[in-house]
Structure 1
């Protein structure tokens, strides 16, 4: 990545940060005790991982469902702040719509999440949602029950088709 070398991100973060090239174990990183917040594009998986990890989020949506997910995180669940676009951008219209986010706006969002007056409220809400997500995934929880029903349905349909009942 040419821009990475030009900007010298690894040099600028040496001793206080880590640059991971390629795939990174996001869930493992998000659940580390040193993580204060999560800057996310608001894809569904990343949103769920952030909620499940119990960390406040800085949302940077751009396309598709990311806008709806950001609204869920910021306006409904109240576990994040936004720096990205607030309306849907069609693919290829990024430059026209001005989706570039300035450094100062990111800095302000980080300060709001880590030092702002609603910091504790956001953290408490994040932790509560993480607990709810954990309970949902445990045996007897709603997600556990739902995935069990899906598996049972697949098995039943497979057995039916093997017995000639499609």
Structure 2
């Protein structure tokens, strides 16, 4: 990297949301943790899924089978990460196949990326003023203010 002056290494925290929103990013390979999925969907990106443990295989099913915005690399069985052996390895051919499908020019590839962009657009609208998430946050803030006021009134009545 140093000699070619290409690439970039980030040693500490990486601004993942900014990276995912960059126009040069065409997709993401993810272990299927919930935060990574939410960030990818918000950025309108298709995913290559590589679940490791816990709920990640369920999240992969959502991304691949339900939303149809992901390509699995072929992990068949969840194992405790300390006990991973050669049988749990994902072969390079599977990764190449997934990247080609994710980034390819086939109709299936185009449709997957289109669905991902559509979900990204919808997620952005929900946090804009008037969107469902925006409205829910405003409602929560109002309820917390109301609770604070009612507690303050309750204390003042007790003191009188």
Q: Could you tell me the TM-score, scaled by structure 1's length?
A: 0.79
Match of 2:97 among 102, 108, 126: 108
Equivalents in 2 of 1:48, 1:102: separation in Å?
27
Kindly indicate whether the alpha-carbon contact (under 8 Å) linking 2:77 and 2:88 is maintained by their aligned counterparts in 1: no
Give the gaps of 5 or more residues in structure 1: 1-9
Kindly indicate whether the alpha-carbon contact (under 8 Å) linking 1:81 and 1:113 is maintained by their aligned counterparts in 2: yes
- Counterpart of 2:16? 26
1:119 correspondence with 2:122: no
Residue-pair matches, total: 154
Rg larger for: 2
Kindly indicate whether the alpha-carbon contact (under 8 Å) linking 1:62 and 1:84 is maintained by their aligned counterparts in 2: no
Give the gaps of 5 or more residues in structure 2: 156-160
Closer, same or farther in 2 for the Cα pair 1:145/1:39, shift >3 Å?
Answer: same
Equivalents in 1 of 2:5, 2:96: separation in Å?
20
**Runs of 4+ with >6 A deviation:** none
What is the root-mean-square deviation of aligned Cα atoms in Å? 2.5
